[in-house]
Amino acid sequence: MPAFKTVRGMRDFLPRDAERMRHVEQVSRELAQLYGYEEVITPVVESYDLLAAKAGEEIRERMYAFKDLGGRKVALRPEFTASVARLMATKLRNKPKPMRLFSVGSLYRYDEPQYGRFREFWQANYELFGSDKPEADAEILMLTNDLLTRLGLRNYRFKIGHMGILRGIMGQEGLGEEQQNRIMQLLDKKRWEEALTVARSADASQNCLTTLKKVFETKGKDAFQVLKRAEESVQEYEKSVAAVENLREILELTRESGVKLEVMIEAGFARGLEYYTGMVFEPYVPEIEMALSGGGRYDKLIELFGGEPIPAVGVAQGVDRIVLAMKKQRGPPKIAKEKVVVIPVDEEYVAKAMELSSILRNAELSVEVEVMRRAVSKALSDADRRAVAYAVIVGPEELKEGKVVLRDMKKREQRVVEIKNLCEEILGSFR
């Protein structure tokens, strides 16, 4: 047999990395509970048509799509939003609104593998259905900010825009949806010149081209000043003005509720997915060029899937990239939980060592028993190598008096302690 490797773009997570991924997953799940988002679990395999409907050209082309043995055209999900919107259009359609739903798991895109870009990756996804009010958008921004803070990230900045600004201009100028989508895709890739070329070849008026160009250049960190400039640039386009006003309301609300968001407002910011209708955003850290997460408002998707018109806004936190950012900013991880090893001095004391390990685990300590029957000195040097906090050495002398040896691996000190006090002795030192 050949030496098997993972398939290109697919990764194994060895223990330390698996622990990091699960940590981000756990914190995002806790946050979901704190904000009232209930978890739903949808399948990895969905109908191709559902996933392709509004995914945008780029994702559509990169889907793992195939015919199953029953001849159905299916694909591995490239995102959660389509699946959760399907639920809202069907099984959950009659549930009272608002409805907040959380999902976490793996997604698949045939992207070119590189740093921060994988073919299998994870998202922690939050969708808020039923409200078209700015507080719903503000909640999604706040929640994302909360997650990144709780994970200890620093210096991140939210790039924020509004799809209504560009669509307002192009719609009023008579550009068809397909052309608009094409332009949005190019803008998502920061290919502004090409976007203008497409607009030009779609017979956009000179006024339209000039306004688009002005909008692309309207960006900055002072949110309200940028919005003022944006409003001036799009005055002739009613829907664009309304979009700027909506973005202002969202940002005012965020500011007034005491959340300090570092922002970069870009009036010409677009995201590749085609379902967005309102505010869109992506947080970045200076150490990584790629967005950590992505989100926005999409008020027409549930309707498109045959449901009632239900406004929606959501975000997908990119777990893999968040882990990369944590590695860059925080350096080597702390040991998640301090470990204890229990070492019997010889085989006669194995059972006692196992018994003690159970007692320690019942006190929520992470405990490993020496299972290799190595000499105490060997087991201790192995514990040292693995940054274990305490070793409990079980031998005849001490046991006779109901005691064991407790060794502090970091201080390299040991003392004899009563078994009945063992948990307290260890836990006390961690507090």
Residues within the interface to ligand HAM (CB under 6 A): 79-81, 109, 111, 117-118, 121, 123, 125, 127, 273, 291-296, 314-316, 318, 320-321
Looking at the Cβ atoms of 234 and 315, the one nearer to ligand HAM is 315
CB of 108 to ligand HAM, least distance (A): 9
Cβ at position 333, least distance to ligand HAM in Å: 20
Question: Is the N-terminal amide bond of 2 cis, ω within 30° of 0?
Answer: no
- Residue 42, helix vs strand vs coil: coil
The answer to whether 167 touches 215, Cβ cutoff 8 Å, is no
Indicate the residue among 37 and 121 with the shorter CB distance to ligand HAM.
121
In the complex, the smallest distance separating the C-beta of residue 4 from ligand HAM, rounded to whole angstroms, is 23
Which residue of the chain is nearest ligand HAM when measured via CB?
318
CA distance 169 to 158: 24
Pairing of strands 99-108, 120-129: antiparallel
Query: Is residue 355 helix, strand or coil?
Result: helix
Smallest distance from ligand HAM to CB 110, Å? 9
DSSP strands (E only) in 334-376: 339-344, 366-369
**What are the C-alpha distances in Å from 28 to residues 22, 147, 157, 216, 334?**
10, 7, 19, 34, 19
Residue 65's SS3 state is strand
- Tell me whether residue 268 or residue 294 sits nearer to ligand HAM (CB atom): 294
Shortest distance (Å) from residue 296 CB to ligand HAM: 5
- Residue 33 token pair: 């509970």
- The C-alpha R_g of the chain, in whole angstroms, comes to 27
Compare residues 125 and 131 and give the one whose CB is closer to ligand HAM: 125
Place of tokens 């006190």: 363
* Cβ proximity to ligand HAM, 84 vs 409, nearer residue: 84
Residue whose CB is less far from ligand HAM, 126 or 237: 126
Are 52 and 78 contacting, i.e. CB atoms less than 8 angstroms apart?
no
We find the least distance from the C-beta atom of residue 138 to ligand HAM, in angstroms, to be: 15
Nearer to ligand HAM, 124 or 406 (CB): 124
- Cβ 89 to ligand HAM shortest distance, Å: 15
Diameter of the chain by CA atoms? Answer: 94
Q: Which is nearer to ligand HAM, 299 or 368 (CB)?
A: 299
The number of residues making up the chain comes to 431
The secondary structure of residue 132, as a DSSP letter, is -
> At closest approach, how far in Å is the CB of 109 from ligand HAM?
5
DSSP 183-236: HHHHHHTT-HHHHHHHHHHTT--HHHHHHHHHHHH-EES-HHHHHHHHHHHTTT
CB of 111 to ligand HAM, least distance (A): 4
Quick one: tokens of 80? 């959660």
Check: CB of residue 299 under 8 Å from CB of residue 88.
no
Spatial separation of the C-alpha atoms in residues 189 and 195, rounded to whole Å: 10
Which of 54, 44, 94, 42 is closest to 305 using CA atoms? 54
Q: How far is CA 90 from CA 202, 239, 307, in A?
A: 38, 31, 7
Shortest gap between Cβ of 50 and ligand HAM (angstroms)?
13
| Smallest separation, CB 165 to ligand HAM (Å) | 18
Q: Residue 127 or residue 231: which is nearer to ligand HAM going by CB?
A: 127
Structure-block tokens of residue 112: 């070119």
- Residue 5, amino acid: K
